[in-house]
Amino acid sequence: MKDDAQNTTSVWMATADTPSEPRLTEDIRTDVCIVGAGIAGMTTAYLLAREGRAVVVLDDGAIGGGMTGRTTAHLTNAFDDRYVEMERLHGEEGSRFIAESHTAAIDRIEEIITRETIDCGFERVDGFLFVPPGESTSVLDDELAASRRAGLRVELVDRAPIDTFNTGPALRFSEQAQFHLPVERYAEILGKLKPFFIHHPESKTHVKAVLTDLGCDPEKTHFDVPKMRSSTSDNYLTTGIAYAWHPHRDTWYSAPPNQINWWIPIYDFQSDNAMAFHPQYWNQKVQNDSKGYNYYEANKSYRGAVLTQYVKSDPRPLPKPTVPVALDPQIRLICPAGGLILFSGAQLHSSVPNTSGKTRFSIDFRVVNVDDVAAKRGAPVVDEECTGTTLRDFLRVTDLSRIPDDIVALYDSGTPSDGVLIYQHQSE
């Protein structure tokens, strides 16, 4: 298509400095010759050149002077010709393939921008699809279903977020980054982000402020470092650094029975990406394999960077129920971003399988009152058989001192000689 012969001038054509290359005046030899210096030709040339091929690109006009120069620069997998139509022409599998290829193309563009540090304002944003004023919105319902069958995360919303114009119902192609990012890369990012948050001195300062604000006695209250957690949707990552928790009590993992868990969502969440509590087991035994778990061994072998490697499976010996657990009745507590859920660490709880299309991000930390610990006051100990104790991790609000050894000793039921009593991140 000879678009450079057309009369339209896009914003890019009016404002960008396009490099111009000299005319080819002699015969040359090359591995590959590409005709057309639009996005397709230039991307192909770039990728081949990176593979070590000699490439020549020919164009009878300017680089990007065709359709590419006229794009609105909207990268989307909300396919222009619609997934309903793609399904009709190519079937469900073909439609899925088209969605995947568009998604992969956006990833590839992002990857090139990152690698070449191209300053072009690339951003991941929600995309909205709505019908022109006065037209039936029923096409949106059909497109919603077809887009989902093609594997995309799409939802119907009341209107697109444009203040000056009411679009009416719209499809939101949302938060696509999670699904576009290779899971290994997601684990790698999280592997840096989580420890950075957990071990940052500011994190402790904020926890101390929250505890003091809410009336905890700073002399008696001890906390452990706040952990950032994520729970991804649709089985994207459920192991290692983003573990989806089976029903468990923290006390199967060497937590003391007097521990209160403080849990804060970073973004709003909903019932299909929440936590579930199973309070019927509060003082009812659940057969489990916590007997094999020792906290000091876990500190030694299963903490830190190693977690990012567990992308497909998780080899950690994490105590689990060894009999079927009745998940119902269950309680899912919902609070807004920045709200708080407090619960006993001995309460049986689990991750709700996340089908929301959204990753849940949260912060949690654990708190004990040293008088409770010393007096051995706490939740009933019904089925815990693990050894070791997490009590050495707790820091006093006033001075970050640790719980005295004689009190910790009341709970310390096993210390293998080669275990690690207190896990130290490399930055500490």
Q: Rule CB under 6 A: is residue 256 a binding residue for ligand FAD?
A: no
Binders of ligand FAD in range 17-36 (CB under 6 A): 35-36
Strands (DSSP E) along 186-259, which ranges? Answer: 221-223, 227-231
Indicate whether 311 belongs to the interface with ligand FAD (CB under 6 A): no
- Smallest distance, ligand FAD to C-beta of residue 22, A: 15
Q: Which amino acid would we find at residue 372?
A: D
The span from the CA of 70 to the CA of 1, in Å, is 12
Nearer to ligand FAD, 63 or 421 (CB): 63
Residue 281's H or E segment, with its range, is: none
Phi, psi of 225 (to 5 degrees): -60, 140
Residue from 12, 13, 39, 92 touching ligand FAD (CB under 6 A): that is 39
Phi, psi angles (nearest 5°) of residue 76: -145, 150
Closest approach of ligand FAD to the CB of residue 61, in Å: 4
Is 4 one of the binding residues for ligand FAD (CB under 6 A)? Answer: yes
Using CB under 6 A as the binding rule, whether residue 68 contacts ligand FAD is answered as yes
Give the pairing type, strands 154-157 and 170-173. antiparallel
Among the residue ranges 15-23, 60-68, 294-302, 351-359, the one whose residues contact ligand FAD (CB under 6 A): 60-68
Task: Write out the two tokens for 242.
Answer: 């983003």
- Structural contact between residues 415 and 389, judged by C-beta atoms closer than 8 angstroms: no
Contact status: 41 vs ligand FAD (CB under 6 A): yes
Contacts of ligand FAD in 74-113 (CB under 6 A): 74
Among 30, 71, 280, 355, binds ligand FAD (CB under 6 A): 71
- Applying CB under 6 A, among 34, 45, 57, 59 the residue interacting with ligand FAD is 59
DSSP assignment of 123-190 equals: ----EEEEPPTTS-THHHHHHHHHHHHTT--EEEESS-S-TTS---SEEEE--THHHHS-HHHHHHHH
Site for ligand FAD contains 226 (CB under 6 A) = no
Contact residue for ligand FAD among 11, 32, 47, 58 (CB under 6 A): 58
Q: Is 175 in the site for ligand FAD (CB under 6 A)?
A: no
Return the SS3 of 204.
helix
Binding site for ligand FAD (CB under 6 A): 1, 3-4, 35-41, 58-61, 65-68, 70-74
